[in-house]
Amino acid sequence: MTGQNRTLLVTVAVLVALFAFCASQFPFVVSTRVIGNLLTDNAFLGMLAIGMTVVIISGGIDLSVGSVLAFSAVLLSMLISKRGLDPSVAFVIVLGIGTTFGALQGTAVHVLRAPAFIVTLAGMFLARGACFLLTEDSIPISSATYRKLSDAGLPLGGGAHLTFSALILLASVAFTALLLRRTRFGANVYALGGDRRAAELMGIPVGATTACIYAYSGFMAAAGGILYSLYTQSGYPLAGVGLELDAIAATIIGGTLLAGGYGSVWGTALGILILGLIQLYITLQGTLSSWVAKIVTGALLLFFMGTQKLFSQSSFGTGLFARLSVGAGRHRTFSTEPSQ
Amino acid sequence: MRKGYAIPIWAAPVAAMVLVLLIDTILFPSFFELRLIDGRLTGSLVDVLIRGTPVALLALGMAGVIATRGIDLSVGAVMAIAGAVAADALAEGAPWTTAVLYALTAGLACGLWSGMLVAFLKLQPIVATLVLMVAGRGIAQLVTGGQITTFDDASFSALAGGTIFAIPAPILIVAAIVLLLTVLVRSTALGLMVEAIGVNPRAAELVGINTRSIVLAVYALSGVTAALAGIIATADIHGADANNAGLWLELDAILVVVLGGGSLLGGRLSYGLTLIGAITLQAIKTGILLAGFPPQMGLILMAVMVSILLVIQAPALQQWLQRRTLRNAAS
């Protein structure tokens, strides 16, 4: 627990430092408007990262989320613009497909005992291919509901609004945090990530839990697709290419261990804000190109893995102290040889 | 019933390749036709081999990494870095040998970096190489200044477009690398050691294998072959595109290794079978184009292929087959 708090503290420290740096260069960043936009602009990525966090805590990985997001957005635009379906019905259909797709992947991971990496790689190809089968063009969405939803929002003060997307993101973070910390399912997720075999022997329904974990990720990816279609007012089959990597990066920067069994969705939310701030700084700065973001993200990944290594039990840090005290204790207890 | 007869490990990959080539021939009867045009072998089969070169090279490096139960996600980015370094050197007037040397050194450095993170800092391979996968493309753009660097150097371009005895150069390069690596790992104990690490890293260390050096070496080799792929891709288009060179090819490379009978759980290393996997994948892609399907169909077909592979390799199915064989043997 202390280790978790410490890695989360590092994430908070990085976020505060980044924000202070941005604010020192561009004072207007300290406004509710900018912060509200930060949430809105990263809402769809945030949804993917939330699902990814649950999967990674359980010791798996889900590479299909970016493609599922694109597929959901494309299907929405087809259903609404071409078929004239009501958006609310279309949302239910898309969420259902995303969840089913995820559940199938989870079942495959469990039944085939295959690495999640490869199963979800197949899912990624399949969902992306399905996008192209539906359409090869960008399809605009024009619907009254869409306009209403993207205009809706809670006033934040200072002329800013917490948009519908931002609200959904915040609600999803809170819900997932409760799910992970306060329910049996959440405990099972941590147990699976800690030691799959031990979890099985403890009587945890490993198969059902795995299916649910990937279904949750699929649901979140489909929800991300809905937010993405709200954000761009269209569906485009090439949308969200490589977004799964950003989601994984946000999760790791948020302090979740890729080995599983350890992490929190709050950290992931902070990780999303960190990635968003880097992007914001580059946009404001104007002369930097997008490759700076890539290098900075890579450096942050390395930094956080180093931090985790430092704080995790098996390394120095707390590990070293534990080993030292154990060593000292053993010396006292077992030194039965007669002293010279 | 014959007892104690196991299906050889190379049977499935070779059968898959033969099957795909057969389907290609049915779709396109002149698939195997070879013709000599202007002293250069041409034909669909030659095309498959040339197009498959970059992925084949990436997969050859990846095979060693996967055999140690690792994975190298950075190969696509390393390809972009090597291409950028080579094009930059050429654009500044360096001779082609210097450009190749620079690019290979850059690849080696990238490989050593990832290898160091895995072997010495004991980071998980998937995260350790994710760092370079994310940052690598940025580094490549740093080298090219965010533009597509072009050059005009006939000798360097010959690495992709030239021929020796009518055989295109990329094919010869891949063949030479496969031969070299196979001799290296099979005439020494290296291959055995790599596989031992993949089967059980702890046991490998206990029997006295220097696991750190070997893990470092397989990642370094992966960096070098990725650089070679980057050189050929750059020579092919006479320029370095930091954004798109080798984009998502790491996934293709992993798929090729699995197609070649490799297991992501480590312990299997065969460069020859990896090459067969690369030919299979490219033959499928070419077949889709020849059959007149839209290229997007390739994604779905690849998904289907991965699914079939997963089912075949699934421990549950293997156990069931084993039980059945035992029961048959008993009766």
CATH of the domain at B81: 1.10.3470
Q: A259, B124: Cβ pair inside 8 Å?
A: yes
Residue B47 falls within a domain, yes or no? Answer: yes
Q: Averaging pLDDT over each range in A9-18, B24-33, B100-109, B284-293, which range is the top one? A: B100-109
Q: B310, A118: Cβ pair inside 8 Å?
A: yes
For residue B34, give how far its alpha carbon lies from the nearest alpha carbon of chain A (Å): 33
**pLDDT of amino acid A89:** 92
By C-alpha distance, the chain B residue nearest A132 is: B296
**pLDDT of amino acid A55:** 96
Whole-number average pLDDT of chain B: 85
Chain B residues inside the 8 Å CB shell of A245: 130, 133-134
pLDDT above 90 for A251: yes
pLDDT in tens, B59-91: 999 999 999 988 899 999 999 999 999 998 998
Which of the 8 DSSP states describes residue A29? Answer: G
Q: What residues 156-215 of chain A have any CB closer than 8 A to a CB of chain B?
A: none
Please report, to the nearest 10 degrees, the dihedral formed by the alpha carbons of residues A71, A77, A79, A84 taken in order: 180
pLDDT above 50 for A329: no
For residue A307, give how far its alpha carbon lies from the nearest alpha carbon of chain B (Å): 12
A interface mutation test: which of B310, B319, B320 has the most A CBs within 10 A?
B310
Tell me what ipTM this predicted complex has: 0.80
Number of folded domains in chain A? Answer: 1
The residue type found at B29 is: P
Q: What residues 295-314 of chain A have any CB closer than 8 A to a CB of chain B?
A: 295, 297-299, 301-302, 305-306, 309
Residue A320 falls within a domain, yes or no? Answer: no
Residue B94 falls within a domain, yes or no? Answer: yes
**Residue B5 — pLDDT band, cuts 50, 70, 90?**
low
Q: A132, B294: Cβ pair inside 8 Å?
A: yes
- The three-state secondary structure class of A195 is coil
Q: A294, B137: Cβ pair inside 8 Å?
A: yes
* A28 at B interface, C-beta within 8 A: no
Residue A169 falls within a domain, yes or no? Answer: yes
Give yes or no: residues B151 and B96 share one domain: yes
pLDDT above 60 for A51: yes
pLDDT in tens, B243-254: 787 778 888 898
pLDDT above 90 for A295: no
**Residue A312 — pLDDT band, cuts 50, 70, 90?**
low
More confident residue, B111 or A121: B111
The mean pLDDT value for A97-113 works out to: 93
Distance of CA A270 to the CA centre of its chain: 10
Look at B27-41, B182-196, B200-214 and tell me which has the smallest mean pLDDT. Answer: B27-41
Q: A115, B265: Cβ pair inside 8 Å?
A: yes
Residue B11 falls within a domain, yes or no? Answer: no
The mean pLDDT value for B273-283 works out to: 91
**pLDDT of amino acid A326:** 39
Residue B19 falls within a domain, yes or no? Answer: no
Give yes or no: residues B85 and B215 share one domain: yes
**pLDDT of amino acid B310:** 74
Provide the CATH number for the domain around residue A165. 1.10.3470
pLDDT above 60 for A171: yes
Find the CB nearest A291 among B117, B141, B302.
B141
Q: What is the pTM of this model?
A: 0.85
Look at A274-283, B306-315, B320-329 and tell me which has the smallest mean pLDDT. Answer: B306-315
**pLDDT of amino acid A5:** 67
pLDDT above 80 for B143: yes
**pLDDT of amino acid A58:** 94
pLDDT above 50 for A317: no
Give yes or no: residues B202 and B308 share one domain: no
**pLDDT of amino acid A287:** 75
**CA-to-CA distance for A129 and A4, rounded, in angstroms?**
39
Q: Averaging pLDDT over each range in A121-130, A166-175, A300-309, which range is the top one? A: A166-175
Give yes or no: residues B206 and B136 share one domain: yes
| Nearby residues of B228 by Cβ (< 8 Å), 6 or more positions away | B57, B82, B104, B107, B173, B177
Residue A310 falls within a domain, yes or no? Answer: no
| Nearby residues of B300 by Cβ (< 8 Å), 6 or more positions away | A125, A126, A129, A130, A133
Residue A119 falls within a domain, yes or no? Answer: yes
More confident residue, A334 or A141: A141
Residue A278 falls within a domain, yes or no? Answer: yes
Q: What is the domain range of residue B120?
A: 38-292
Q: A122, B303: Cβ pair inside 8 Å?
A: yes
By C-alpha distance, the chain A residue nearest B318 is: A112
